[in-house]
Structure 1
Amino acid sequence: MVRRFVKERDKISVEDIALPGFLILRSIQLGGAQKLGDLAEQLDLTSGAITALCDKLEAKGFAERQRLQGDRRNVWLDITEEGRQLLNRYPELGKRGVSLLFGSFNEEELACQKEIFERIYANLEGFSERYMAMVKEYEEQNAEEKTEEKPKKKPAAKPNQNYFLNY
């Protein structure tokens, strides 16, 4: 679902600015000039993606890079007056996009989705550690099986099985 959303999102361009570019401008508008690394982390973008987006925003005159005296390594991005005008031309772009995705759901369905996503989010806490513990258990189990006479044969997969959770 996330991949499909990203593919669709990346097809959207308003005044030759991709949707993540609008997110960058909105973030700067709300929080002031920000370091490129912080923007990348906040918006879950790679350093390459943030650089390309900032190049485009700067080329269009919507944002400008700044370096502080004495700290040339950190690059900050600030919104220009043209960038503010761009956001003003599309004041509810984000809200309307959310409405396109979730507007067909009733309050009960939205509450259920929220609860499910909160549970998934909570399950992510310590996920990598628990997963690696599980891997270690498999490794120990496999080591024990190798010392036995014959390892147990795994059953063959059923045709047309949903492999999403079975890898």
Structure 2
Amino acid sequence: MEDRKVLLTKLEKNLLLVIRKLRRELNDVFGETITRQEFTFLKMLYQKEPQMVSSLAKELEVTASYATAVTDKLLQKGYVNRQRSAKDRRIVELSITDEGTELMNDMIKKKDAYMIESFGKLSDDEIKMMTMLIKKLR
């Protein structure tokens, strides 16, 4: 039986390779239109808007400054709007624009097709097991 340290080294190597592959291929899927990070932030607004930058940062487990930088890029590209909250004028909220919604519909279709192709070799049970194991690591 293999030593635990050897097993963990193999696990680390394979996880890194899979993560790099997913990142590289998702960048290819999204093309030059949007980055993976921008997609993730825009998807959060697509699913639930309006939101404050601080809420997005907390949900995605990133710093507020990073969240601000990503959302600034989305604002420049015309995919999000910033507006003062109707409930509290001190609060600035982000919402997705019609152009952002159209982009998300297209990008989600592309991402879903990529995921189906990439994980098509796995059975539903294997996908469930992989999901459970990744959640356990988190």
5+ unaligned residues in a row in structure 2: which ranges? Answer: 1-14
Measured against aligned partners, the alpha-carbon deviations of 1:24-72 in whole angstroms (never above 9, x if no partner) come to: 2222122121111111122222222211111111001110122236442
TM-score (norm: length of structure 1): 0.56
Instruction: Identify the match of residue 49 of structure 2 among 19, 23, 32.
Output: 32
State the alpha-carbon separation in 2 of the partners of residues 36 and 7 from structure 1. 29
Higher strand fraction: Structure 1 or Structure 2?
1
Instruction: Identify the match of residue 60 of structure 1 among 74, 77, 80.
Output: 77
Q: Which residue of 2 aligns with 1:18?
A: 35
The alignment status of 1:5 with 2:5, answered yes or no, reads no
Q: How many percent of aligned residue pairs carry the same amino acid?
A: 28
* Distance change in 2, residues 1:84/1:30 (3 Å): same
User: Number of residues paired by the alignment?
Assistant: 120
* Distance change in 2, residues 1:103/1:26 (3 Å): same
Q: Which residue of 2 aligns with 1:104?
A: 121
Highest RCO, 1 vs 2 (Cα 8 Å, sep ≥ 6): 2
Instruction: Identify the match of residue 110 of structure 2 among 93, 98, 105.
Output: 93
State the alpha-carbon separation in 2 of the partners of residues 60 and 101 from structure 1. 29
What value does the CA root-mean-square deviation take over the aligned residues?
3.0
State the AA in 2 paired with 1:5.
I
The range that moved more, 86-95 or 22-31, is 86-95
Which structure's CA Rg is the greater one?
A: 1
The alignment status of 1:76 with 2:93, answered yes or no, reads yes
State the alpha-carbon separation in 1 of the partners of residues 134 and 34 from structure 2. 30
Displacement over 6 Å in runs of 4+: none
Are the counterparts in 2 of residues 17 and 56 from structure 1 also a CA contact under 8 Å?
Answer: no
State the alpha-carbon separation in 2 of the partners of residues 111 and 54 from structure 1. 33
State the alpha-carbon separation in 2 of the partners of residues 55 and 8 from structure 1. 25
TM-score (norm: length of structure 2): 0.66
Are the counterparts in 2 of residues 62 and 83 from structure 1 also a CA contact under 8 Å?
Answer: yes
State the AA in 2 paired with 1:46.
T
User: Map of 1:125-144 to 2, 5 A cutoff?
Assistant: none
